[in-house]
Structure 1
Amino acid sequence: MSYVPVSRRTIRRHRESERSTRRLVVALSAAAIVVWLLSVILSSLVNVDDGVHNVDLAVHDLFLVVAFGAIILVDWHGLLWLIGRRGLGEIIRLDGAATPLIWGGLAGLLATGVFLSPHLDNPMTELKLAAVLVLSLNGIMLIPLMRRLARLPADAEFTDLTRGQRIHMVACMVVSQLAWWTAIIIGFINAES
């Protein structure tokens, strides 16, 4: 281990950056909860005819393809980085490109979900909605880790991370996949009934 002298100003900027990241995570988490609640509440108040429902369902599915497709790509490349088959720089660039697709798709899912007339008294629907909230919050919880990863050299390997960072990354990937697949499977089951 080498010693690299760091100025007090650099240490202070790093601490300020960490504090601003924590504030951002709290603000985004609160916003995600409010938007999710608003979507659920509005979905119980809005009734549309079958024609609008069918168009909305098609648009909802398109947003699903965009968001989940980007998630699969990012998680797949993240897994490849974990096993040493991709470079960190590639993962960071891919994440930066996919992030607007993921969050835009998720926002579209919440907006179009309002017009799907979900059966909010159905336990499966409640589980789906909970999974959507979990996947939103999980994505927000990745922000601090991704910011730390972006400061590492482009050739850094998974084993260069601290144990806590490795656990954080793997746990978020697992939670992401579980929440997305839960919401998708329940959504298709509910659409059939």
Structure 2
Amino acid sequence: MSGFSFAESPVSAIAAPLVVTLPGPGSEVVRWGERHTSRVPARSRRLFDPVPEKPLTLHDSWWIVAAAALVAASALVVAVWIAVHLRVDPVLHQAGLFVHLASLALGFGGVLMADYLVLRWLAGRSTFADAVQSANRLHAPIWAGLAGLIASGCVLEPNLDSPLTRTKLVLVLLLTLNGLQAGILGRRLTDFTTAPLPNRLLGWAAVTGVVSQICWWGAIFIGFWNAEH
């Protein structure tokens, strides 16, 4: 055949590979019957990987949590600025109060439910895996309630000259930061649902729960005191 060259092994024409040289200025040699010994590049293997790489989430790194904390603190500062410069009529104030109370019920109710699940595990009425998985499902309503409290607080005309109001803002900031690091704690706890819980994680969880309760109850008390006085 014109333009093609074939080469066969003189030992065995059946078992030997078939070599074809393609015509043209950039001649290429194609072989049939030989096993490829070159390794497939890692980038090419990823194209055929049946399990895609998992993207980073909020609680995969302390750096991501620190960035989220910075964003949360900035949002709280923006909320305070809006509360100072916004003129609120009575209708908007009443609507904001309703949202504030509903958000309190949603967020703080989720916190109390999570603590109740932990108490059930401590009492031996549920497994640790069930307690952790159920508590992790409560993160969404808790964060929704906290966001609603901050947003609705912008229209409640807080007295920022009061030391109690400033203390409440600090408690809200601590509550937010505590919730962000609690996400990493929950991720670590899921690794020990079938293994003994280390004392380090147990102490970490206890401190997180105590800080959460202090911040929630302190903010509720200050809000009630300011409403009455």
TM-score of the pair, normalised by structure 1: 0.83
Equivalent-residue separation in structure 2 for 1:133 and 1:75 (angstroms): 21
Q: Which amino acid aligns with 2:181?
A: M
Task: Tell me the equivalent position of 1:96.
Answer: 136
Structure 2 unaligned residues grouped into runs of 5+: 1-55
Which structure is higher in strand share?
Answer: 2
2:213 maps to 1:177? yes
1:47 paired to 2:83: no
Deviant stretches of 4+, over 3 Å: 82-85
How far has the Cα of 1:41 moved from its partner? 1.7
Shift of 1:83: 4.3
Selected match of 2:222 from 182, 186, 192: 186
Instruction: Find the counterpart in structure 1 of residue 97 from structure 2.
Output: 57
What is the distance in 2 between the residues matched to 1:87 and 1:178?
A: 27
Counterparts of 1:82 and 1:47, CA distance in 2: 49
Amino acid at match of 2:209: M
Return the offset for 1:50: 1.5
Structure 1 segments unaligned to the other structure (5+ residues): 1-15
Q: Cα RMSD (Å) of the superposition? A: 2.1
- Superposed, which structure 2 residues align to 1:72-91 within 5 Å? 72-91=112-131
Could you tell me which residue of structure 1 aligns to residue 178 of structure 2?
Answer: 138
Counterpart residue number, 1:168? 204
- Secondary structure at the aligned position of 1:142 is classed as helix
CA distance change for structure 1 residues 59 and 81 in 2, over 3 Å: closer, same or farther? same
- Measured after TM superposition, the shift of residue 170 of structure 1 is 0.3
Asked whether 1:106 is paired with 2:142, we answer no
* CA–CA separation in structure 2 for the residues paired with 1:125 and 1:44: 13
Residue pairs, 1:143-154, within 5 angstroms: 143-153=183-193
Q: How many residues align?
A: 174
Q: Could you say which structure has the higher helix fraction?
A: 1
**With structure 2 as the length reference, what TM-score do the two structures score?**
0.70
1:93: Cα distance to partner? 2.3
Structure 2: which amino acid aligns with 1:151? D
Letter in 2 for 1:179: C
Identity %: 36
Q: Which residue of 2 aligns with 1:32?
A: 72
Which structure is richer in relative contact order (CA contacts within 8 A, separation 6 or more)? 1
Deviation at 1:81, TM superposition (A): 2.3
